[in-house]
Amino acid sequence: VMFYRLLSIVGRQRASPGWQNWSSARNSTSAAEARSMALPTQAQVVICGGGIMGTSVAYHLSKMGWKDIVLLEQGRLAAGSTRFCAGILSTARHLTIEQKMADYSNKLYHQLEQETGIQTGYTRTGSIFLAQTQDRLISLKRINSRLNVIGIPSEIISPKKVAELHHLLNVHDLVGAMHVPEDAVVSSADVALALASAASQNGVQIYDRTSVLHVMVKKGQVTGVETDKGQIECQYFVNCAGQWAYELGLSNEEPVSIPLHACEHFYLLTRPLETPLQSSTPTIVDADGRIYIRNWQGGILSGGFEKNPKPIFTEGKNQLEIQNLQEDWDHFEPLLSSLLRRMPELETLEIMKLVNCPETFTPDMRCIMGESPAVQGYFVLAGMNSAGLSFGGGAGKYLAEWMVHGYPSENVWELDLKRFGALQSSRTFLRHRVMEVMPLMYDLKVPRWDFQTGRQLRTSPLYDRLDAQGARWMEKHGFERPKYFVPPDKDLLALEQSKTFYKPDWFDIVESEVKCCKEAVCVIDMSSFTKFEITSTGDQALEVLQYLFSNDLDVPVGHIVHTGMLNEGGGYENDCSIARLNKRSFFMISPTDQQVHCWAWLKKHMPKDSNLLLEDVTWKYTALNLIGPRAVDVLSELSYAPMTPDHFPSLFCKEMSVGYANGIRVMSMTHTGEPGFMLYIPIEYALHVYNEVMSVGQKYGIRNAGYYALRSLRIEKFFAFWGQDINNLTTPLECGRESRVKLEKGMDFIGRDALLLQKQNGVYKRLTMFILDDHDTDLDLWPWWGEPIYRNGQYVGKTTSSAYSYSLERHVCLGFVHNFSEDTGEEQVVTADFINRGEYEIDIAGYRFQAKAKLYPVASLFTQKRRKDDMELSDLHGK
């Protein structure tokens, strides 16, 4: 779209504007700042990609004081998706971090014209999100609640109001809508040019028609880039190559896998209406109709996310495919029908063009940013899932902060490149997955969504056995994990259809699993957990772990320690359990999606010592969690070993035999606070041990259980989970885990200083458990996560996770409580007193429910006699 505007700036007429010229238009000079001189031989940072991402990173880096920056663009500045982007800036996003990025972008673009003098066509139009169904309206209400608490004005409006705001709309089939008045439209190509121009004034050197061939790496560190115009030595490389980021990542000797894949994306341009649409006409998003509509030069620009996307460039950059990017009207037909249903008066409007503009999508619909786990100094910002313009400013800012400070100012784990591994890099996987992701853009996002494509990649050896027993599966980091087990008499088909914001249909199933965990014994296959082994010839392993972890790991052999791997700020990089197998070897269990991140962190901080061995043994062990009071009976019967707390105290690890299989690592913990054992079984014994456990367990009432039961058990006991509740901006003190920090363990560890300071000054947020009081489980909307928390009517934070507690017969939410100053909004110290003396409400889609705040779990839930774990908990809460 915007390239028409761009052309006027460039001042160059072309006979047939369109994709055909996109890659071949090498002879045109772009913005004034693009140079054609010889490349410098060295720079601190080389950015590849002159789209909105690359220019935004350059802009922010230069603003933050880094000057020695080179930006390379293979074609011309502001080409590619940036050029063809529909130019809609929308802050209504599902993730808070995305809302913040879009909000920042909005503010940045707003003042960009003033700052640079380059017209960006920024117009504040507002946008209206239509709901054709009640479920859609709930989804909008949830977003609305969250937008409001971060200061973005928005409101839920009636269909009548919609008609007033946009006179062309047919509103008869609507149940409501959300109006976000400060959303805008802007020319993304001009934004990129303005950012480039400002960056250039700050010293960034920009070269177009220069292709990066590959990045040079030495000893896991970026040393330079090889371009078609020569080499540039550099410390940092930023891959903002958009749809070519995947290929560029793989072109290295040490490949960087950046899982993204392009799909064709179509939108329609029309001639102006008879009475041309005003430039302030709001943008319409009709997600149920799969379309968006904005005003464009007095006419309409309308595109959408169809159900049957056309993936493209699977085999990489292909000139033939680029040239063949044509208007596909037949493909657009459903969207056109939808448009005419929404705006019947457009029938007589004349078509100008159908634009085919490929967009990049990622396996989980979130963008990709951050540093490569394999190559230090290799940063990535790509995979925008067609929201590049909305995210551009904010994402560029966070990445620049990341490079300059080592951390972005917000937690961006959800967007971190390291949430993916090489396993998401298969081209077939990406092709299939993005075909699911693209329609999902406008599908209803309901709780507990599972992707359907790219499944059954990593499975436990018990997969088939569990599947045959009715397991329903979810996937994490490519690994299949059971959600729950459908009893034989249940209607399977009906269950799979459940998409609801209310009580789900598996409620009773999970209840019976939870009950069994409480009263008898259950088996949960938890093989997906990331498992590392660290061994050394001498004391090196202990030393390095003592430095990397906050808890004291110099414990007797056989003990298990819950501990955090903290960063300099004291925040959790990883939350794990470490068993000391012997003097010189440790077994480390981390969350499933930590596989890449934790490995990278350890590798980065471990000394290069050949006597110190770090091994990823995730694939070597099948993990079975035996939860329940009778777990001890099952195990002792299978091992002929006494398993009583005297012989096998809590948080203890022993290698023993189970059935015929020897060398099974048995750990007395269950990740839920319930009594029981984790069994780490070498995979070849998995089936045997499982069979033995099931057959012996029969008389104790054993049954299979899934992660939903585990989750309910865990959350009701206030067990926070890394990646959901806590992240690298959460310190142990902020989530009540002082006991897991040994500040005086006799040596320094990463984050100690920050914790010391925090201990002195107090914390500014505190993870709190909320029990919903007046919530009707059967009739009310269920909490999910991200719901605003109100204390005495004031917003204090958001929930991070929630579950129904079958023991309390209440919903339990975990969430952070802040103490914002009433005058300045500044964050103040949160004390236990502050938390306890408040009346709380949780806002679920605009409905507020009363909640009781708890700083420690409900004691009655711990039925077993006191174990070490509980002691710790009560200890710390006593303080």
Partner 1 sequence: AVSRDHAIALQLLPPSPRIPVRSSSLPLFSDAMPAPTQLFFPLIRNCELSRIYGTACYCHHKHLCCSSPYVPQSRLRYTPHPAYATFCRPKENWWQYTQGRRYASTPQKFYLTPPQVNSILKANEYSFKVPEFDGKNVSSILGFDSNQLPANAPIEDRRSAATCLQTRGMLLGVFDGHAGCACSQAVSERLFYYIAVSLLPHETLLEIENAVESGRALLPILQWHKHPNDYFSKEASKLYFNSLRTYWQELIDLNTGESTDIDVKEALINAFKRLDNDISLEAQVGDPNSFLNYLVLRVAFSGATACVAHVDGVDLHVANTGDSRAMLGVQEEDGSWSAVTLSNDHNAQNERELERLKLEHPKSEAKSVVKQDRLLGLLMPFRAFGDVKFKWSIDLQKRVIESGPDQLNDNEYTKFIPPNYHTPPYLTAEPEVTYHRLRPQDKFLVLATDGLWETMHRQDVVRIVGEYLTGMHHQQPIAVGGYKVTLGQMHGLLTERRTKMSSVFEDQNAATHLIRHAVGNNEFGTVDHERLSKMLSLPEELARMYRDDITIIVVQFNSHVVGAYQNQE
Residue 696 host element (H or E): helix 686-697
CA distance 602 to 10: 49
Q: Which stretch binds partner 1 (CB under 8 A): 115-123, 346-354, 569-577, 782-790?
A: 346-354
**Least gap, CB of 277 to partner 1 (angstroms):** 14
**Least gap, CB of 674 to partner 1 (angstroms):** 51
164, 315, 333, 827: residue in contact with partner 1 (rule CB under 8 A): 333
Which residue pairs from 330-337 have beta carbons closer than 8 angstroms and sit at least 24 positions apart in sequence? 331/264, 331/266, 331/306, 332/266, 332/268, 332/306, 334/290, 334/306, 334/307, 335/266, 335/268, 335/290, 335/291, 335/302, 335/303, 335/304, 335/306, 336/268
351, 446, 555, 614: residue in contact with partner 1 (rule CB under 8 A): 351
4, 36, 329, 866: residue in contact with partner 1 (rule CB under 8 A): 329
274, 347, 489, 823: residue in contact with partner 1 (rule CB under 8 A): 347
744 binds partner 1 (CB under 8 A): no
81, 127, 139, 270: residue in contact with partner 1 (rule CB under 8 A): 270
318 binds partner 1 (CB under 8 A): no
Q: Which stretch binds partner 1 (CB under 8 A): 341-349, 407-415, 664-672, 819-827?
A: 341-349
Print burial letters for 313-327: b (CB count within 10 Å at least 16), e (below 16).
beeeeeeebbeebee
**Least gap, CB of 320 to partner 1 (angstroms):** 7
CB of 572 within 8 A of CB of 726? yes
CA distance 51 to 79: 6
Q: Where are the alpha helices (DSSP H) in 762-867?
A: 832-836
Sheet of 572-582, strands arranged across:
560-566, 572-582, 585-590, 530-536, 612-616
The number of C-alpha atoms within 13 Å of 126 and in the hemisphere containing its C-beta is 16
CA distance 552 to 546: 7
Which of these, 354, 442, 380, 439, lies nearest to 86 by C-alpha position?
354
Nearer to partner 1, 259 or 311 (CB): 311
Phi first, then psi: what are they for 589, rounded to 5°?
-115, 125
326 binds partner 1 (CB under 8 A): yes
**Least gap, CB of 362 to partner 1 (angstroms):** 28
**Least gap, CB of 453 to partner 1 (angstroms):** 24
322 binds partner 1 (CB under 8 A): no
Q: How far apart are the first and last CA of the chain?
A: 62
Nearer to partner 1, 332 or 648 (CB): 332
**Least gap, CB of 858 to partner 1 (angstroms):** 58
330 binds partner 1 (CB under 8 A): yes
Q: Which stretch binds partner 1 (CB under 8 A): 125-133, 320-328, 434-442, 761-769?
A: 320-328
13 binds partner 1 (CB under 8 A): no
Which of these, 152, 156, 140, 137, lies nearest to 91 by C-alpha position?
152
Q: Which stretch binds partner 1 (CB under 8 A): 253-261, 332-340, 449-457, 819-827?
A: 332-340
4 binds partner 1 (CB under 8 A): no
72, 180, 339, 814: residue in contact with partner 1 (rule CB under 8 A): 339
Structure tokens at 244: 């070519």
| DSSP character string of 826-840 | -B--B-HHHHHS--E
Q: Which stretch binds partner 1 (CB under 8 A): 211-219, 241-249, 351-359, 723-731?
A: 351-359
CB of 858 within 8 A of CB of 808? yes
337, 456, 537, 792: residue in contact with partner 1 (rule CB under 8 A): 337
7, 150, 322, 349: residue in contact with partner 1 (rule CB under 8 A): 349
24 binds partner 1 (CB under 8 A): no
**Least gap, CB of 271 to partner 1 (angstroms):** 9
- The helix/strand/coil state of 423 is helix
Torsion of CA 769, 775, 780, 785, to 10 degrees: -10
**Least gap, CB of 315 to partner 1 (angstroms):** 17
CB of 352 within 8 A of CB of 336? no
350 binds partner 1 (CB under 8 A): yes
Q: Which stretch binds partner 1 (CB under 8 A): 82-90, 324-332, 651-659, 717-725?
A: 324-332
CA distance 393 to 228: 29
Nearer to partner 1, 265 or 630 (CB): 265
Other beta carbons less than 10 A from residue 86's beta carbon:
23
Q: Which stretch binds partner 1 (CB under 8 A): 62-70, 342-350, 747-755, 772-780?
A: 342-350
327 binds partner 1 (CB under 8 A): yes
CA distance 283 to 265: 18
301 binds partner 1 (CB under 8 A): no
CA distance 845 to 142: 4
Nearer to partner 1, 328 or 519 (CB): 328
Q: Which stretch binds partner 1 (CB under 8 A): 349-357, 630-638, 693-701, 821-829?
A: 349-357
Nearer to partner 1, 266 or 361 (CB): 266
Q: Which stretch binds partner 1 (CB under 8 A): 91-99, 322-330, 690-698, 790-798?
A: 322-330
Q: Which stretch binds partner 1 (CB under 8 A): 257-265, 335-343, 473-481, 483-491?
A: 335-343
15, 320, 468, 779: residue in contact with partner 1 (rule CB under 8 A): 320
Q: Which stretch binds partner 1 (CB under 8 A): 41-49, 319-327, 396-404, 861-869?
A: 319-327
Nearer to partner 1, 273 or 457 (CB): 273
CB of 55 within 8 A of CB of 71? yes
353 binds partner 1 (CB under 8 A): yes
274 binds partner 1 (CB under 8 A): no
524 binds partner 1 (CB under 8 A): no
**Least gap, CB of 350 to partner 1 (angstroms):** 5
175, 250, 340, 581: residue in contact with partner 1 (rule CB under 8 A): 340
Nearer to partner 1, 333 or 450 (CB): 333
Phi first, then psi: what are they for 243, rounded to 5°?
-70, -15
By CB under 8 A, the count of residues binding partner 1 is 23
Q: State whether the Cα torsion 34-40-44-46 is positive or negative.
A: positive
Site string for partner 1, 221-260 (x = CB under 8 A): ----------------------------------------
CA distance 864 to 597: 36
Round the CA-based radius of gyration of the chain to a whole number and report it. 28
348 binds partner 1 (CB under 8 A): yes
Nearer to partner 1, 168 or 861 (CB): 168
Nearer to partner 1, 325 or 524 (CB): 325
CA distance 499 to 447: 8
CA distance 515 to 90: 45
248, 263, 336, 517: residue in contact with partner 1 (rule CB under 8 A): 336
**Least gap, CB of 126 to partner 1 (angstroms):** 24
Residues 6+ apart with CB under 8 A from 672: 517, 627, 710, 713, 714, 717, 719
CA distance 81 to 54: 12
Inter-helix orientation angle 388-405/188-201, to 10°: 30
Nearer to partner 1, 349 or 832 (CB): 349
Residues forming contacts to partner 1 in the complex (CB under 8 A) are: 268, 270, 320, 326-330, 332-333, 336-337, 339-340, 346-354
